[in-house]
Amino acid sequence: MKLLRVGPAGAEVPAIMDAEGRLRSLAGIVPDIAGDTLLPEGLAALRALDPARLPELPADSRIGPCVGQIGKFICIGLNYADHAAESNLPVPPEPVIFLKANSAIIGPNDDVLIPRGSKKTDWEVELGVVIGKRASYVTEAEAMEHVAGYCVINDVSEREYQIERAGTWDKGKGCDTFGPIGPWLVTADDVPDPQNLSMWLEVDGHRYQNGSTRTMVYGVRHLVHYVSQFMTLHPGDVISTGTPPGVGMGVKPAPVYLKGGEVMRLGIEGLGEQTQRVGHA
């Protein structure tokens, strides 16, 4: 099941994609793709619907972030060994957790804006995990019961702010527009193995990232368990699980960063694609 949110920024309506790829409105059925809608019983109710009986939305509608009212936007750093190597950093002995500001969240095809004064804005295709059931101190065996589904995320990053400006990573990760999410939330029942998904990212047609979730250091099951030891996860919280190699910072012989005017395209097998034009704040 593919769930999404359609319409102008801040006024999106919940929607579902039918078997033919048409967008069908869920307005009046659920308030949003958020909160209780993502509980197991909420998803079961949506699964019982006949999308063909729902109003069709225009095919050219803007697609917003696939999850609304996100409580926590949690990210995992250096979760692919080869990305850690290209960053000249060791593989962490435990998952690295940081938070991305909710004000960074945009739709999958909205413009990404380089912050004022930025010199090193970079890209990162990542698998997003959407929580569908409250999780606190869950075991690894229980962890997947708490996952509603998956989505594509571009963890846009300003490397100077992240690494060279003192303090935590958050200031280089949470700039406005640095969190494109979507196009769809694909429910967990349609993703039988989240650890076997190909993923890629291109800038102006040049493929920089070409990886797979197979090479994650810490998989989805462990991450949900691990994060829940430090904070309670609620339905609609999102965990972005790290990126494979090929980020601009790691390009040899010299890094490549976004300057403005480029087009980023990225996708994950079965979860759809994103396209963002790069502008300036």
Domain with 114 in it: what CATH number? 3.90.850.10
Average of per-residue pLDDT across 110-127: 98
Look at residue 81 and tell me whether its pLDDT is greater than 90. Answer: no
Structural domain harbouring 242: 69-280
User: What is residue 7's predicted lDDT score, i.e. its pLDDT?
Assistant: 98
Q: Specify if 270 maps to a domain.
A: yes
Q: Specify if 241 maps to a domain.
A: yes
Q: Specify if 102 maps to a domain.
A: yes
pLDDT digits (tens, 9 = 90+) for 157-194: 999 999 999 988 999 999 999 999 999 999 999 999 99
Q: Specify if 21 maps to a domain.
A: no
- Quickly state the pLDDT bin for 275 (edges 50, 70, 90): very high
Query: If DSSP codes are grouped into helix, strand and coil, which group holds residue 266?
Result: strand
Edge-to-edge order in the sheet of strand 206-212: 112-114, 272-280, 263-268, 198-203, 206-212
Give me 193's structure tokens.
């193995």
Q: Specify if 7 maps to a domain.
A: no
User: What is residue 82's predicted lDDT score, i.e. its pLDDT?
Assistant: 80
pLDDT digits (tens, 9 = 90+) for 187-229: 999 999 999 999 999 999 999 999 999 999 999 999 999 999 9
pLDDT digits (tens, 9 = 90+) for 234-270: 999 999 999 999 999 999 999 999 999 999 999 999 9
pLDDT cut 70: percent of the chain above it: 100
Q: Specify if 51 maps to a domain.
A: no
Strand 73-77 vs strand 238-240: parallel, antiparallel, or unpaired? parallel
Q: How many CB atoms lie within 10 A of CB 189?
A: 10
State the first-to-last Cα distance of the chain, in angstroms, to the nearest integer.
Answer: 36
Report pTM: 0.97
Q: Specify if 6 maps to a domain.
A: no
Look at residue 73 and tell me whether its pLDDT is greater than 80. Answer: yes
Strand partners, 206: 203
Q: Specify if 212 maps to a domain.
A: yes
Number of domains in the chain: 1
